[in-house]
Amino acid sequence: MVEQIDHIGVLVEDITSSRGIYEQLGIELVKTERVPEFGVEIAFMSNGTELIELVEPLADDEFTQLLVEQDHSGFLHHIAFRVEDIEGVLEDLKRAGIGLRDPAPRQGAGGASVAFLEQAAGNGVNIELVERDEEVI
């Protein structure tokens, strides 16, 4: 079912001021992207093999308010697992009684199809499923 960890998402107040520590560690900025579906700006950072996704909320809509209220800036926000058939995995999870925040995939950063499970399903950790046709790095 899961092929690998796709990325680790870190909620930040400001990408520009937050990326410095990663760059000092040799993790370089690959690209930034606005994701209107989620109301966030994303910065993909990489050491050449692993991805860290800095997530900056852009608006005061319901989703971004939940990000700020449930999580604290600079904290681990989610772990994203790469899957080959996101719709099939979602169906399997639904049949198993796993709570889905996204019952169908949505358009995510980097051209990916993504879906989040309910936070309780990950014992408090947000779990994102990611299906990609092309690699970010």
Confidence (pLDDT) at 57: 87
Fold of 2-131: 2,3-Dihydroxybiphenyl 1,2-Dioxygenase; domain 1 (3.10.180)
Q: Residue 24's pLDDT is what? A: 79
Contact of 115 with 108, CB cutoff 8 Å: no
- Residue 58 and residue 14 in contact, taking contact as beta carbons nearer than 8 Å: no
At residue 63, the pLDDT reads 59
- Phi and psi at 88, nearest 5°, equal -65, -40
User: In the prediction, which pLDDT does 64 show?
Assistant: 59
Q: Looking at the predicted structure, is the pLDDT value of residue 37 above 80? A: yes
Looking at the DSSP bridge assignments, the partners of residue 40 are 35, 57
pLDDT tens-digit series, residues 58-93? 876 665 566 666 655 567 789 999 999 999 999 999
Q: What is the share, in percent, of the chain residues with pLDDT greater than 90?
A: 51
Q: Does the pTM exceed 0.95? A: no
Each domain of the chain, given as residue ranges in start order, spans 2-131
pLDDT of 123 over the 80 cut = no
> What percent of the chain has pLDDT above 70?
88
Mean pLDDT value across the chain: 87
